[in-house]
A and B are shown apart, each in its own frame.
Chain A
Amino acid sequence: MKLFSMTKTIFKTLGRGPSTIRYPKEPAKRYEGTRGQVEIKIEDCIFCGLCSMHCPSDAITVDKPVKIWTIDRFRCISCNSCVEACPKNCLCLNNVYHEPVLNGPLTESFTGSAEPAEVSSEN
């Protein structure tokens, strides 16, 4: 029918049932390769600052003297650039997205040589 060309699609869709993922009841789709957040193995970091240099968004600051590696999650665009730049392979991108937060800025600092991570902003 010319007038209701949509008919077929509509009934197909009706028959197939909703394609909705019932998130949050159901878990979200996730792929292995998804670029999520930057994680650091701070033990391996040598504070060379390459990651910071190559970060297109200036999300990383490396304070060499005091051995603090800081990332601003509100700036990170999950681009993988730092990961590629790191000579020690101590950075990686996981496949989990950051959850929404109530207020910023959202920086996380890691202090070198196995000291416990410290989170600056509540969340």
Chain B
Amino acid sequence: MSRRIVVPFGPQHPVLPEPIHLDLVLEDEHVIEAIPSIGYVHRGLEKLVEKRDFKDFVYIAERICGICSFIHSVGYCQGIENIMDIEVPKRAQYLRTIWSEYSRLHSHLLWLGLFADSMGFENLFMNSWRIREKILDAMEETTGGRVIQGSCKVGGVRRDISDSKLKDMVKDLDILSSDIEDLCHVFFDDDTVIHRTKGVGVISKEAAYSLGAVGPTARGSGVSTDIRKTGYVAYADLDFSPVVETGGDCYARCAVRARELLQSVDIIKQAVDAVPSGDIDVKVKGNPDGEYFSRVEQPRGECLHYIKANGKKNILRERVRTPTTANIPALVKMLGGCEMADVPVIVLSIDPCIGCAER
């Protein structure tokens, strides 16, 4: 007689902010098998390019996901701009950079909170999200939206940030970073956190690379990959290097993100120091014709917008390959042989964003 326990994990499950389903097969609490299934939030928005003007599609692109919304719009716009050979003003590029990093901060703090919650550390969740609100405030003040910023458009950005505001933002970030450091300290040092994360969901460097993992998931395993290094928007002018950890476990992935928080603050500071004055957009004339693979570094890793157009107002194909999709194979590998209590921790350790993954 088998001693299996078969449990449906999700799609509705309190640990999952978004629906994903796992068939969990357990023995005691050891996971014998975990087969994922997704598709609960698939909308099919890529198909909307057939209906929307390519310029208006950016509103839809940024609604691929409310967490990494801004960078999606950057990715999309960049694709169109490169097809059309539009020279985006420097200032706009810098603003895009700043907002991208804000968006990363917001996403990582959100994730840190959810991650803490997944291992039953409620206070940490609350404190992470408390800090995150400050980021959102800055976002809302500068772009007009808390989570869906809508400030990036083909040819530039919609809103400018005044220099004095930029200075204030940096000042706020300084205050914030001490809070962030406190939090990171908990994630790095606390025994109970380590108990839940160290050695859990290990994936080796080779495996991570060959499975195509991206972003912090890959960097946590020692794969140094960060699309920002390709120098899109203004990253080429800024000094930073990918945050890499070698543990390959949940702890390492967590550490990568925690350190990236501070890195983002640093990048923002650099960008604010270097931001040139000038226009924030250029006029876009005509329609795109051609194709382009536009790659951007999302909080969760490399995101790819493939755009193919044929000179009409509606582009032909927009394909988005989001980091979560790329990380799912690694996740499947990680889940084998863990404990049931680890399942939420491991699932969240890749920072899954199903909204992105399924579009």
Contacts and interface: CB of A to CB of B under 8 A. Distances in A.
Q: Do chains A and B touch in the complex (CB under 8 A)?
A: yes
B56 A33 contact: no
Interface string B123-152: 110010010010001001111110010100
B182 A3 contact: no
B142 A33 contact: yes
B159 interface: yes
Interface stretch (A5-13, A66-74, A105-113): A5-13
A77 B183 CA distance: 35
B182 A9 contact: yes
Size range of the interface on A? 20 to 34
A57 B52 CA distance: 9
A2 interface: yes
Given A9-B183, A10-B123, A3 B144 contact: no
A46 interface: no
Contacts of A9: 123, 127, 182-183, 186
B123 A56 contact: no
A25 interface: no
A12 B60 CA distance: 41
Nearest to B56: A56
A29 B137 contact: yes
Nearest to A32: B141
B59 interface: yes
B185 interface: yes
Contacts of B127: 9, 13
B87 interface: no
Contacts of B137: 29, 31
B190 interface: yes
B191 interface: yes
A59 to B, nearest CB: 11
Contacts of B57: 56
Contacts of B145: 34-35, 78
B28 interface: no
A34 B146 CA distance: 8
B63 interface: yes
Contacts of B183: 9
Contacts of A29: 137
A33 B144 contact: yes
Contacts of B142: 33
Nearest to B134: A19
B359 to A, nearest CB: 16
The 6 closest A-B pairs by CB, nearest first: A5-B190, A56-B59, A35-B144, A33-B144, A5-B189, A5-B186
Interface of A: 2-6, 8-10, 12-13, 19, 29, 31, 33-35, 53-57, 77-81, 84, 93
